[in-house]
Amino acid sequence: MQIQFPSHFLWGAALSSYQCEGDNSNSDWYFWEKEKGLTNSASACKHYHLFDQDFKLASSLNLNSLRISLEWARIQPDAATFSQEEIAHYKEVIDALIKYNLKPIVTLHHFTNPIWFAKQGGWAETKNIDYFLKFLQKTVEAFKERVDLWIIFNEPLVYIYNSFICGIWPPGVKSLPQANKVLNNILAAHITGYQEIKKIYRDSNIQPQVSMAKSLRVFSPSPGFNFALNSLSAGLRSYFFNFRILNYLTKKNALDFIGLNYYCREFSKFKGLVGEESDYRPKGQRQNYLGWNVYAQGFYKLLKKLKRYNLPIIITENGTAEDKDSSYEDFLISHLKGLALAMKEGVDIRGYLWWSLMDNFEWDKGFGPRFGLTEVNYYTFERKIKPFAYTYGKICKDKKIII
Ligand code: BGC
């Protein structure tokens, strides 16, 4: 059966400033790489300078939207200064998107913080929320004529898990009470930020749509003699990781749509109250380059579950890192089929963004995993469109898929 997508459906890709721009030497991550002896993000993809050519390439693939993020540390190099030069730079970036008919979707916080903010205690300090809100006001004010789709935070729980529970991302803390405090602060910043954005557009005829990019995963129990307890853990993990924040923010009327980031399924096993991830992988099912269990059916299932929130959904990230082109293609098509089926069954999905437009800096994993529609040569900074990206480009053009 053929599914035709509406003409206004957003077909795009996503990226983040720190992972692509390069030389974000005022961000906490830059110091962390040095301190921990990790791969240095260095010039990354040089996207800070090459953004025009990157957007041209996205448009040559028939994309009509692109999710970017603003690097807070560039715009606010210290607590008392907003850099007019960097604001002008991002205006140019957004104007380039518009020039290539790519609808801008702008994220304000994608894992990184200015070093001065981190040094003052970062997200663990409630008083610091105001710094972020000032940054939000300044940037939304500056770009309000150009942008109507805003994501305040990217994946707060992924950030908190890696930075405050596992301690593998800056600031390298391992403390549940701190993690909880950070979560409360980020949620408070989201809710106030949401209201601030609405205020900023009060006298405008543009209606901003504001959300969060929320990572969702399918949690399945690891098989074995502990199956019943593992099922309990999978259920709890699914509630805490997937739905608790969505329930809370929708009750507070602080989401205009759901931004969904989906990658894979996790197998859970019983351990303590909330269990943990197991390394079980089912035979015959594909693992990606990072060992993640590829599970397109789960994408469909989650989309169906999200219907209960009665909000439009934009897939703000979906993608994979592979070492074979056929695996990218298989991932793309199987997930798009799941999406199309969910739409046919009444789920209100407004857009799909592949992670990522280009191969880029994958945090603690360096440059090994390649998620891009385009391959980046990290020596010459040349871009090469991957074969599966042409398939994606054709779907973006035809706006239809056979399921
Ligand atoms: C993040 C990206 C990351 C991607 C692949 C998402 O969770 O938003 O920054 O590169 O996953 O791991």
At 126-174, the pLDDT tens digits run: 999 999 999 999 999 999 999 999 999 999 999 999 999 999 999 999 9
* % of residues, the chain, pLDDT over 70: 100
Which atom in ligand 1 lies closest to the alpha carbon of residue 154? Answer: 8
Which atom in ligand 1 lies closest to the alpha carbon of residue 319? Answer: 5
Decide if pLDDT at 272 tops 90. no
Q: Which residue has the tokens 């290539």?
A: 100
CB-CB contact of 3 with 403 (8 Å): yes
Average pLDDT over residues 273-293: 93
Angle between helices 84-99 and 47-60 (to 10 degrees): 10
User: What average pLDDT does the structure give for the chain?
Assistant: 98
Which atom in ligand 1 lies closest to the alpha carbon of residue 290? Answer: 12
Average pLDDT over residues 86-99: 98
Q: What do you get for the CA distance between the two ends of the chain, in Å?
A: 5
Least confident span in 113-117, 144-148, 225-229, 386-390: 225-229
Output the pTM of the full model.
0.98
pLDDT at 131: 98
DSSP 280-308: ---TTS-B-TT--B--HHHHHHHHHHHGG
Average pLDDT over residues 187-198: 99
Q: Which of 153, 316, 355 to mutate to test the pocket of ligand 1 (most atoms within 8 A of CB)?
A: 355
Instruction: Choose the CATH number for 2-402 among 3.40.1160.10, 3.30.930.10, 3.20.20.80, 3.40.630.10.
Output: 3.20.20.80
Which atom in ligand 1 lies closest to the alpha carbon of residue 158? Answer: 7
pLDDT at 11: 98
Per-residue confidence band for 34, with pLDDT thresholds at 50, 70 and 90: very high
- Between the CA of 191 and the centroid of ligand 1 the distance, in Å, is 23
Q: Which amino acid is at 193?
A: G
pLDDT at 274: 80
Atom 5 (ligand 1) nearest CA: 362
pLDDT at 225: 86
Per-residue confidence band for 273, with pLDDT thresholds at 50, 70 and 90: confident
Q: How many Å apart are CA 5 and CA 268, to the nearest integer?
A: 35
pLDDT at 155: 98
Other C-beta atoms lying within 10 Å of the C-beta of residue 402: 9
Residues in contact with ligand 1 by the CB-under-6-Å rule are: 16, 19, 154-155, 158, 215, 261, 317, 355, 362, 371
- Between the CA of 285 and the centroid of ligand 1 the distance, in Å, is 22
Average pLDDT over residues 176-191: 98
- Between the CA of 362 and the centroid of ligand 1 the distance, in Å, is 7
Decide if pLDDT at 370 tops 80. yes
- Between the CA of 264 and the centroid of ligand 1 the distance, in Å, is 12
Average pLDDT over residues 314-337: 98
Contacts of 277-281 spanning 24+ positions with Cβ under 8 A:
278/222, 278/230, 280/222, 280/223, 280/224
Average pLDDT over residues 111-131: 98
* % of residues, the chain, pLDDT over 90: 99
Average pLDDT over residues 233-252: 98
DSSP conformation class of 358: B
Atom 3 (ligand 1) nearest CA: 362
Other C-beta atoms lying within 10 Å of the C-beta of residue 363: 22
- Between the CA of 389 and the centroid of ligand 1 the distance, in Å, is 19
Three-state secondary-structure class, residue 315: strand
Q: How many Å apart are CA 22 and CA 43, to the nearest integer?
A: 4
Residue 317 bears catalytic tag? yes
Decide if pLDDT at 399 tops 80. yes
- Between the CA of 314 and the centroid of ligand 1 the distance, in Å, is 16
- Domain edges within the chain: 2-402
Q: Which of 69, 315, 317, 370 to mutate to test the pocket of ligand 1 (most atoms within 8 A of CB)?
A: 317
Other C-beta atoms lying within 10 Å of the C-beta of residue 131: 20
Catalytic residue among 33, 196, 317, 329: 317
Average pLDDT over residues 194-220: 98
DSSP 127-174: GGHHHHHHHHHHHHHHHTTT--EEEEEE-HHHHHIIIIIS--STT---
Decide if pLDDT at 22 tops 80. yes
List Cβ neighbours of 180 (8 Å cut-off, separation of 6 or more): none
Per-residue confidence band for 232, with pLDDT thresholds at 50, 70 and 90: very high
Per-residue confidence band for 30, with pLDDT thresholds at 50, 70 and 90: very high
* CA dihedral of residues 347, 239, 130, 81 (deg, nearest 10): -70
Which atom in ligand 1 lies closest to the alpha carbon of residue 363? Answer: 10
Decide if pLDDT at 112 tops 90. yes
